[in-house]
Chains A and B, each alone.
Chain A
Amino acid sequence: MAEKTFIEKIQEIDPKILYAILIISLLIPYVRPLGIPIPIGAETRSYWNYIANMPEGSVVAMQLASDPSTIPQTRSAHQITMLKLFQQNCKIVFFTLRDDAPPLHEEMMQWVEAHLPSSKKLAYGVDYVNLGFLADTEATIAAIVADLKGFVEEDAYGNSLSSQPMMANVNSGEDFDLIVWNDGSRGIYMFALRQWQEKLGTPLLIIASTINKPGIMNYLQSGQVAGAAFGTEGGAQIESISGYIGDSTKATEPGSLSALVLTIVLLISNTIYLVKRFQTPTNVKGGNVK
Chain B
Amino acid sequence: MKRLIPVLITSIVGTVLVFSVFFPMAETWGEDFSLFFDIIAVFAFFLGGGNLVRVHLIKVLNKKGDWKFSIVTLIAFAITLTAGLFKFGSVDIAASVTAEGTWMQTIFNNIIAPLSSTMYALLAFFVASASYRAFRAKNREATILLIAAFIILLGRTPLGMFMTGWIPEWFSIAQIPNLAVWIMNGPNLAGQRAILIGVGLGVVAMSLRLILGMDRTYLGSDHD
Partners in one complex: no
